[in-house]
Structure 1
């Protein structure tokens, strides 16, 4: 794994995440990572490295804390719908967030862009180290955490009130990252 810095992190975040998407990291402060992930989702945690986050609502505004945040109603029990997924699967899911329905078929020029998008996803997840754990709400991971997430079914356990949402939670010994996309209508 390569050592990443703020510049490579920011470049990869901008390449993968845009309007209607969420990418943020907070410190791992508790034994139960779900509580730290919840703080990240609700924008109650600062990035321990001071690196950038992206929480861009549809229309280009920032997601806020409180009811304007898509994760405002999430509770620790909702994480029962977060299934373990392999690092490769987590990379693939992050790439599919580019597609309107989180499928590679909906990503413009996917066959040309696949390697570049996967490289950016890999950079983002390298931040969490070789021992990191990854979770997703993509139901295919419940059956097989090593499944090909590019070819998975488009079924998700929603975390929000949006029509559809999908993402990856990265958990290391020191940090928790949440990377999510939303289909509004």
Structure 2
């Protein structure tokens, strides 16, 4: 693994997470990582490294609060609908979040951009180290955490009231990252 810094992190977050998407990291402070993940989803914590985030999800304010925030109603129990996923699978999911329905065929110029997008996804996950635990709500991972997530079926255990949402949760011993996208219509 390569060492990432604030510049490479920011470049990858800007490339993969635009308007209506969510990418934020917070500290792990509790034994139950789900509580720390909720803090990140609801923007009740800052990035421990002070690095950039993209947290302007549809329906919510940039501060992640209020009833319109996509994660406002999420509870600790909702994390039972996340499934372990391989690092390669998580990279692929981060890339597919670029498509309207989280599929590669919905990503403009995917064939030409696949290597670049995958490199940015790899950079994001490198922050969490080789021993990271990674979860997703893409139902394909329930049966096979090593599945090819570029070729998965479009079934998701949604966290929000949007038509569809998909994401990745990455955990290290000290940080939790939430990377999510939403289909609103």
Matched ranges for 1:46-65 at <5 A: 46-58=46-58, 62=62, 64-65=64-65
1:141 corresponds to 2:141: yes
Distance apart, 1:109 and its partner CA: 0.5
CA-to-partner distance for each residue in 1:10-40, whole Å, 9 max, x for gaps? 0000000001100000000011111100110
Distance apart, 1:76 and its partner CA: 0.4
Aligned to 1:113: 113
Matched ranges for 1:17-36 at <5 A: 17-36=17-36
Gap runs ≥5 in structure 1: none
Gap runs ≥5 in structure 2: none
1:89 corresponds to 2:89: yes
- Give the aligned CA root-mean-square deviation in angstroms: 1.3
Size of the aligned set, in residue pairs, is 185
Contact 2:61 2:69 in 1 (8 A): no
Aligned to 2:9: 9
Alpha-carbon separation, structure 1, partners of 2:137 and 2:28: 20
Distance apart, 1:65 and its partner CA: 1.4
CA-to-partner distance for each residue in 1:69-109, whole Å, 9 max, x for gaps? 10000000000001000000000000000000000010011
Q: TM-score, normalised by structure 2?
A: 0.97
Runs in 1 of length 4+ with deviation above 3 angstroms? Answer: 57-61
Contact 1:20 1:60 in 2 (8 A): no
Aligned to 2:176: 176
